[in-house]
């Protein structure tokens, strides 16, 4: 092991990296990723890609194998976490405003991950940017869900649209959007009930809400605490939305809101798992339970924490 780690240039000045040089290093790096809460499957795939990239390549002068491999992994992680598409919510809201349409965001995800709380934080953030916000209470199932939002809207001073419990959430969302347009709201934030990705009736109901209302943005709310399950959550939420889209339209997860970031310290791996699986960017991270606790993802910082 020490021999390969210290392998330096040969007489001709360059060495070609071989599988046997690289593998033990990548195995250790994979373990590091897993200990940082990256899903095992994702960690394996990432190191496999790095392996195929570096094996056969030439080692730069005076570089250790371990350094070269780590650098390659760093690049791979940065690439995965850097969004292909950039979501600029404020710009998109402005564009809708010019057309006289309210911009709508639907918050979806599993039970208890922080949808309603972070929806309230997003409302606060939008208000700071001078937007007129309405919140639509489309979790008509869970006890206290409506009162939870009422408390937030009263504190924030925004309008709540609610029809109580046991109503069809898709219909409540439709009514809310209509009312928001009449009232000249800039943004409608739609709260939905938590659900498990394998719960077929609930996934269909969610798809119906999205298909009938075509929101401008579908945000998947996931928690940084989640482990390997992140893979299955993102895969299934995304694929059910796509599969259940009506002909001529495709709805999928547009972006991710990653919550409870403040509870994981250096175990930031869920961010990587979720982005890797869905290809959707992390739009916000939730870093606490106060309205101001919303941040942008700092890719460089996460990559360095993952490799630390």
Partner 1 sequence: MVLAELGSKINHALRNMGTASVVDEQALDACLKEIATALIQADVNIKMVKQLRDNVKRQVQIEDLAAGLNKKRVIEKAVFSELCSMLDPSTEPYELKKGKSNVVMFVGLQGNGKTTTCTKYAYANKRKGYRPAMICADTFRAGAFDQLKQNCTKAGIPFYGSYTETDPAAIAQAGVDRFRQEKYDLIIVDTSGRHKQEDALFEEMREIEEAVQPDCIVFVIDGSVGQAAYDQALAFKKTVPVGAVIVTKLDGHAKGGGALSAVAATDSPIIYIGTGEHIDQFEHFEAKSFVSRLLGLGDWHGFMDK
Ligand X SMILES: Nc1nc2c(ncn2[C@@H]2O[C@H](COP(=O)(O)OP(=O)(O)OP(=O)(O)O)[C@@H](O)[C@H]2O)c(=O)[nH]1
Give the binding site for partner 1 (CB under 8 A). Answer: 31, 34-37, 39-41, 110-114, 116-117, 120, 141-152, 155, 196-199, 223, 225-230, 232-233, 236, 260, 262-265, 267, 269-270, 289
| Residue 7 sits in the site that holds ligand X (CB under 6 A) | no
Nearest Cα residue to 25 out of 46, 41, 47:
47
Residue 101, CA distances (Å) to 22, 98, 142, 208, 220 in order: 55, 8, 30, 21, 23
What are residue 138's DSSP bridge partners?
A: 192
| Residue 240 sits in the site that holds Mg ion (CB under 5 A) | no
Q: Which of 14, 111, 250, 290 binds ligand X (CB under 6 A)?
A: 111
With contacts defined by CB under 5 A, name the span among 22-30, 53-61, 113-121, 264-272 that binds Mg ion: 113-121
- Minimum separation from the CB atom of position 277 to Mg ion (A): 23
Phi, psi of 139 (to 5 degrees): -90, 100
Choose between 276 and 284: whose C-beta lies nearer to ligand X: 284
Size of site (CB under 5 A) for Mg ion = 2
DSSP 8-state symbol, 49: H
How many other CB atoms are found less than 10 A from the CB of residue 290?
10
CB 187 within 8 A of CB 131: yes
Choose between 91 and 154: whose C-beta lies nearer to Mg ion: 154
Q: Would you give the binding string for ligand X spanning residues 136-175, x where CB under 6 A is met?
A: ---x--x--x------------------------------
SS3 letters across 141-181: CCCCHHHHHHHHHHHHCCEEECCCCCCCHHHHHHHHHHHHH
Spatial distance between the Cα atoms of 44 and 248, rounded to a whole number of angstroms: 36
Residue 73, CA distances (Å) to 155, 192, 294 in order: 45, 37, 28
Residue 23 contacts which entry, ligand X, partner 1, Mg ion, none (Cβ below 5-8 A, type-dependent): none
Residue 286 contacts which entry, Mg ion, ligand X, partner 1, none (Cβ below 5-8 A, type-dependent): ligand X
| Residue 113 sits in the site that holds ligand X (CB under 6 A) | yes
With contacts defined by CB under 6 A, name the span among 95-103, 114-122, 128-136, 176-184 that binds ligand X: 114-122
- Minimum separation from the CB atom of position 289 to ligand X (A): 4
DSSP three-state, residue 245? coil
Kindly list the residues in this chain that would bind Mg ion in the complex (CB under 5 A). 115-116
């Amino acid at each position: 092991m020490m021999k390969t780690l210290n392998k330096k240039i040969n007489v001709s000045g360059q060495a070609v990296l071989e599988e046997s040089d690289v593998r033990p290093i990548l195995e250790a790096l994979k373990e590091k990723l897993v200990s940082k809460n990256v899903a095992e499957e994702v960690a394996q795939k990432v190191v496999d890609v790095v392996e195929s990239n570096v094996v056969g390549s030439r080692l730069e002068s005076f570089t250790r194998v371990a350094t070269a491999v780590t650098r390659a992994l760093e690049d791979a992680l940065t690439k995965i976490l850097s969004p292909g598409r950039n979501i600029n919510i404020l710009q998109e809201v402005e564009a809708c405003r010019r057309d006289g349409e309210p911009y709508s965001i639907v918050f979806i995800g599993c039970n208890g991950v922080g949808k309603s709380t972070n929806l309230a934080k997003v409302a606060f953030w939008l208000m700071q940017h001078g937007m007129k916000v309405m919140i639509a209470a489309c979790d008509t199932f869970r006890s206290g869900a409506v009162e939870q939002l009422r408390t937030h809207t009263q504190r924030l001073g925004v309008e709540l649209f609610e029809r109580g419990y046991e109503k069809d959430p898709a219909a409540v969302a439709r009514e809310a959007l209509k009312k928001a347009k009449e009232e000249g709201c800039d943004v409608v934030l739609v709260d939905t009930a938590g659900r498990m990705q394998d719960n077929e009736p609930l996934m269909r109901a969610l798809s119906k809400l999205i298909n009938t209302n075509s929101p401008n943005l579908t945000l998947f709310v996931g928690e940084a605490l989640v482990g390997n399950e992140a893979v299955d959550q993102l895969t299934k939420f995304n694929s059910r939305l796509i599969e259940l889209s009506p002909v001529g339209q495709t709805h999928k997860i547009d972006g991710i809101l990653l919550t409870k970031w403040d509870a994981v310290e250096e175990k930031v791996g869920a961010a990587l798992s979720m982005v890797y699986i869905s290809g959707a960017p992390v739009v916000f991270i939730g870093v606490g339970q106060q309205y101001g606790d919303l941040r942008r993802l700092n890719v460089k910082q996460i990559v360095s924490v993952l490799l630390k």
